[in-house]
Every structure is written in C-alpha cells, then in structure tokens.
Structure 1
Amino acid sequence: MFCEKYTLKILVTADYFYPSIRASGPIRSLVNFVQKFSPIHELFVLTRDRDPNASEAYPDIVAKQWNEVLGIQARYVSPSENLGQVIRETIRSVGPDTIYMNSLMSPLTRSVLRFACRQGTATPDLLLAVRGELSPGALAIKPIRKRIFLQSGKVLGLFKGVRFQASSADEVRFIEHWFPDNKIHTAMDIPSEVIGQPKTRPSGDCRFVFNSRIAPIKNLEIAISAFESLNASHRGFEGILEIHGSPTDQEYLVKILRLLGRCGSHGRHCGPYRHDQIWDILGDASFSILPSRGENFAHAIYESAAAGVPFLISDRTPWTAAAHNGCGWVIDPDDLDGWKNAIINAINMSHDDYLRASEKCIEAAREMQSRAHHQHEALFLS
C-alpha cells in the first residue's frame, strides 16, 4: 500500500466512463481503478458526456463542469465544445502529476499528446494504456487510418517521453514493435471485486452466454455458425447461444441478428445490460463463450471465472493458461469444427467435472484480481 507521501494528483482521460452501459470492458476497468485508488490518490476524470453512437447525454450529468461521481470529480465533454481548449483548460486547472490516458486512438488522447508536445518538458508525467489497440486483430479494422496516425505521430514526436501500460506479455510485444524506445509497464486491467462460489451445473437447457461488445473483433460469426450447424446436424441439440451486449454500430448488429436467426430457438439476442446485471446473467448460465480475435484483458472472461462459469474462448486472450488448467476450452478463432467439438464436449460434461471446472474458475479469478492490484500499485510509482 502507498505511503501518504506518495499521494498523487492523477487526471484520467477516457472516451467513456460511468454511467456508460455501452462501452463494455474498458469502462469496468476504469470504474474499478477509481474505486480502488480514490482513497489513495486524488483522481479526476475527463470523458465524453454520452455513450457511443448516442444522441442524448447521460441523465443526471451536467456537461461543461465538474460532477461528483463515485467519490471523485468527473468532467463530461459535450460534442459542441472545442476539445483542444477543454484539454488545455483542464490540465492547467487540475495541475496533475500524471495524465493517465486510456485508449491510444481516442481523440482525447490525441489532444493531450498534441498539448504535451507543444509544452515540451514542462508537462506532467504521461501514461498511456493501449487497451488492446495495437494487437493484429485490432489494427486489421480500419488499418490505413490507424497506421497513418501511428507513423505521423512518431514523426511529429507526439509519443516522446510517454510511458505505456501493457496488460499482458503479448501486448508488451505489440507496443515494442511500434515504440521500441519508450518505457513499457505491465499492469493488467483491474477486475471487479465480486467473486462468487463454485457452482453446480444448472439444470435445463445448456446456455452459452456471450457477454461483451457486439463488434467485429469479437468474431461472433464463428459461434453463431457453430450453433447453426449443430442444430442442423444433431437431433435433440440442447445448446442455446445467448448474446448479451451493446453493438458498436447498427449495421453490424443487423448482420449478427440475420445470422442468429438461422439458429432458430437455439439463438437469442438479449440486448444491452447494466454491469450490475451481469452476475444474474452468469448465475443462470451453463458456460460463457468468447471467440474473439484479440483481447487485452477480457473482462467478460474474468466475470465468467468470478461467477464460477467455465468458458469457451479463442487462443487470442490472456486466459488460455487458465482454460488449459481446467477452466474451459481454447479454440482457434477460425476453426469451426473446433468450436463445434468444444460446444458438444461442454454439453456432455459430467456434473462432477463441471464442479471441478467451476472451482478452477474461482481460483483463476482470485489470482488475476490479486495480481492486477499489485501491478497497479507499482504503476504510478515507476
């Protein structure tokens, strides 16, 4: 734990923050960070005043001024404001020791980097959490725009002196590829404090829950294809795929719903959920499923483990070791037969094997939580 003399004033920037319900894992990580460290440090948050693709601002939030939320001060920026001016005024009024930027590609991050570049050596310590955006899977989405920003930013010196936060060993390598001369610190996302107890296998239909953003990188298509194929080829197929989460855009959601319709009664779209509802969702689940093409931390998998729910995941997450240790199955994101086999094996899992897997999940969640707290305690003292 920090000594009093190490108390810092930290300005956190993020596109989305509480009370967002559509931005998924990064929001949960930030909320957990604030709740963990606000008793130790003086925290301020600068964020947008509305959810992704939302036309209305959050209710009960006043834009253009500081709001007290979760025991800290948060400034919500409206679309009508000049972002560069807001950044300048906020940094000068707060006078932070550290600016903790969340998301490499965020307009807020770009504005902070431009401000710092103009100010030179007089700027605060700059810490940037990449949040998985340099993984091959993430860079494959709108690649030209992202690579232009990375390359031009390096030429202009925007990243000079910036410290990077990586959430895994894989992410360290991704950051080193682009920024070999910058300091990199490993600190995984801070997960929820909620950890349940090992559970017995739920009775009734075998429910496979997807609980994450409905976005191309999550690779939902392969899971839906697996359920469609199994429903057509296996008489009495008992599996049901439930999709919980917010879409990144309506066009992609329409595509997913069209594919899901082919599964008949074996596919359900349940829509967005508040974070406090996830424990009820997982409480009734048999398994969780995440065929993602790239994950930074994967709060969806942590929550599944913390609820004692075994999981089926791709080999592009930090949770492969836990899965191999008895928590579930690891499958190549493009291996349709592999997903089908894992789903059938899960359905056929005995009650004793399920309880052992649930116990392993709880163990893995506790270990991840402890490691994340220790890593963050060191992050701001580096």
Structure 2
Amino acid sequence: MKRQRVLITIDWFLPGTKSGGPVRSYANMIDHLNHYYDFLIITRDTDYCSDEVYDSIQSDSWNQFNEHTSIYYFSKENLTRDNFSTLIKNTEFDILYVNGIYSWFFSILPILLVDKRHKIIVSARGMLNAQAFSVKKFKKKLFLILANAIKLYKHVYFHATNKDEAIQIESHIKCFKGMYIAPNLPRKMQGSTKAKQKHEGPTRFVNIARVSIEKGTLKMIEAMRTITSEVILEIYGPIYDSEYWIKCQNSINELPKNLKVEYKGVLESEDVPNALNDYDYLILLSEGENFGHAIIEALSSGLPVLISDNTPWKNLESKSIGWDVNIEKEEEIINAINKATRMSPLEYSKWSKSALEFADEFTQNPELIEQNKALFLSSQN
C-alpha cells in the first residue's frame, strides 16, 4: 500500500528551537508517525528572531531529515510567492498540513495555492484561544473578519488539540469542512522510572520558556519575594523583549538573599530531559498553554510542576503531581511555592513517583497515536 505523503508548512522548524512549542509538537509527531506516513516540511533556513542560517543544511533545497522525512529550507531572499508556488506545484504530496493562522507564507498562502482536491488541515496551535488575542488583537480580528468573508477555510479541516480549543476555533471560523481533536504527542523519553529524591539544601525550581509577559516570567519572580525558605530558581529561554527583561532583572536584584534567581540562556530542546534532573520542580506561570511540552517532560522526569490553570493539565494537587494556580491571585502562587519548599523528602518521593506514573500513562496511551493518525486518513477527504 502506498504511503501517504504529508506536506507541512511551518515558519520555523528544527534545528531551530526559539519559536517554542510548535517545533517540538511537529518533531514529536514525526517521530511517532513516520512509521505510517512520509513527511515533507517547508520552512525557513533561520530560527525565530535570527538572521543566522542553520549550520549543516542546504538552503533552497530539499534536505533529508530521516528515512521518511525531508525538509526544504527557504532562504530569506528566495522566499517569494512565485518561488513558493513553484515549489508547491513541483512537490508530490497527498495532504497539506498547515501550522498556525496568521503567517502569510506558511499559514495563508499554502491554502490559496493548493488544489482543493488535496486534503487540507490547519492546526491552530492555540492561536485562536482567548489569551492569544492579548497581542496584536486588532490585526488578528481584522484578518479573521476577512478570512470569513472570503470563506478562506471552506475546504479546510481544523486540528484542535483539545475540546476547549475546538470551541475557540468554532467561535472564530464560520465556514470550514470539519474538525479533528487530537492531543499533541509527547517526546519519546527514555528517562528513569525511579522516583527522584529531593535535593538537599535550597529547593530547586526550573523555568523553561521564552522570557515574556505571556509566559509570566516577571510574575513568577515577583511571587518569590515573600518566600522565607531557601530557593534556587534557574530560568532557561530566549529573550525577545529587552525592556521586559530589564524589569525582570530589577525584580531579581530586589529579592532577599535566601532567593537565588539566575538566567541560564537558551536550553536546546534535546538537552531538556538531562537538564531536568538538576531540579526539584518545574514552574511555569504562563497566560495559557495549548499543550505545554515542558510540563509533560518535567512530569516524565519525575518533577512535580507548579503551573497556571490556563493549560490542559488540571487538578494536579489532587493527583499529587503539582499545582495549577490562578496566576491572577498571587497568594495562590505563593501558597503553592511554600508547599513545594516545605515538602518533606519522603512526601516529595511519593509525588515524584506519582508524576512518573501519570506521565507514563499519558505517553503510553495508544489512543493518542490513533487520534493523530486519524488526521491523515485520506478516506475522510
């Protein structure tokens, strides 16, 4: 039986990591599904907010990523409508899988160019969720008005990663062909199955996210101010807003001596599992996460997590794997931090074991694979 060929259009992909979750989502999906499908990816030859071309790739050419995946890296000078159109016409594929909503070249143009006899899927990646409109609200709303007016998505299926996102998509897109709900696939991790021991000395928190308002970096630092226990917080992630980072640094400088906060730079995606071993908890107080790869990867490493309640991961304390707090109520954040720092080594080991068991049950669920495979079933075209 002929393998289906899935063409993915996405602004940034591996070896880039600075654009965050979507790159990890697609890398994981390919890793899980390339036994069933061939993947072709069209992307840029630079990372997010970078002009430096990736090492060891050939720009404006197809590059073999693995046995069943090839990537075409567009250079900045050759990324034009004509060149994109020519590439699409000269590429044999069965299904178009579009990342995101607002990118002209990688989210909108492919839909306009591809023959509607192909199955077309758009993965919204949280871009239609309520919190996504806190940035560039007017432009996004205007685009959606125009898209609905011309029925841009008339022949398109949407991919939502959960029921809440499906509701958000339906509230903004008035005409589309169908909806799939399939959770993001986690990274295949070969971590320890043994519960972690809490580090001696200060409680060690790690934050893995871009330094930004929507990821709650400053809110996290400011919540630490009243903590009397000894705490180490280490922050990994790219900085895009220098003024915001200055505010974060000023807040760090005002913290009492029992709190040590350090920025550690950008952590490469493949280094995340090993890095997590150095910490007791992951903390991530974002305004919203469509999935949150760092969250499930932390749990897979035996780390309980302290996160906002604006993610799919809910009721964590009742499961003894962490806390999901209302980030608008600082007392909830402070209360959770205090519970984490004061947890006994014996209790911590129990929570770590619960985190491992929860992550294992989630990642080994065969239904996740089937839901994602169903996205590409051509019989539903």
- TM-score normalised to structure 2 length: 0.92
Q: Deviations over 1:121-141 (max 9, x none)?
A: 44x111111111111111111
Is 1:59 matched up with 2:55? Answer: yes
Conservation of the 8 A alpha-carbon contact between 2:218 and 2:247: no
Give the aligned partner of residue 89 of structure 1: 86
TM-superposed CA distance for 1:225, in Å, is 0.5
CA 1:102/1:49 → structure 2, altered by over 3 Å: closer, same or farther? same
User: 1:37-76, aligned counterparts within 5 Å?
Assistant: 37-71=33-67, 72-76=69-73
Q: Deviations over 1:62-94 (max 9, x none)?
A: 111111123321001111124322331222122
Give the aligned partner of residue 128 of structure 1: 122
Give the aligned partner of residue 162 of structure 1: 156
Secondary structure at the aligned position of 1:18 is classed as: coil
TM-superposed CA distance for 1:253, in Å, is 3.2
Q: Deviations over 1:275-321 (max 9, x none)?
A: 12212221011111111111101001011111010011111001114
Secondary structure at the aligned position of 2:226 is classed as: helix
TM-superposed CA distance for 1:262, in Å, is 2.6
CA 1:324/1:161 → structure 2, altered by over 3 Å: closer, same or farther? farther
Conservation of the 8 A alpha-carbon contact between 1:257 and 1:269: no
Give the aligned partner of residue 112 of structure 2: 114
User: 1:12-23, aligned counterparts within 5 Å?
Assistant: 12-23=8-19
Q: Hey, what's the Cα distance between the residues in 1 that align with 2:335 and 2:109?
A: 48
Is 1:327 matched up with 2:321? Answer: yes
Relative to structure 2, which stretch is displaced further, 46-55 or 193-202? 193-202
User: 1:1-382, aligned counterparts within 5 Å?
Assistant: 4=1, 7-71=3-67, 72-107=69-104, 108-116=106-114, 119=115, 121-122=116-117, 124-182=118-176, 183-194=178-189, 195-197=191-193, 198-230=195-227, 234=228, 237-263=229-255, 266-369=260-363, 370=365, 371-381=367-377, 382=380
Structure 1 residue runs without a partner (length 5+): none
CA 1:323/1:154 → structure 2, altered by over 3 Å: closer, same or farther? farther
Number of aligned residue pairs: give it. Answer: 369
Q: Hey, what's the Cα distance between the residues in 2 that align with 1:251 and 1:208?
A: 24
CA 1:253/1:113 → structure 2, altered by over 3 Å: closer, same or farther? farther
Q: Hey, what's the Cα distance between the residues in 2 that align with 1:363 and 1:85?
A: 51
Q: State the superposition RMSD in angstroms.
A: 1.8
Q: Hey, what's the Cα distance between the residues in 2 that align with 1:378 and 1:241?
A: 41
Conservation of the 8 A alpha-carbon contact between 2:148 and 2:175: no
Q: Hey, what's the Cα distance between the residues in 2 that align with 1:100 and 1:21?
A: 20
Q: Hey, what's the Cα distance between the residues in 2 that align with 1:245 and 1:159?
A: 34
* Aligned-partner residue type, residue 203 of structure 1: E
Secondary structure at the aligned position of 2:73 is classed as: strand
- TM-score normalised to structure 1 length: 0.91
TM-superposed CA distance for 1:21, in Å, is 2.7
Relative to structure 2, which stretch is displaced further, 329-338 or 89-98? 89-98
Structure 2 residue runs without a partner (length 5+): none
Conservation of the 8 A alpha-carbon contact between 2:315 and 2:324: no
Q: Hey, what's the Cα distance between the residues in 1 that align with 2:123 and 2:239?
A: 23
* Aligned-partner residue type, residue 261 of structure 1: N
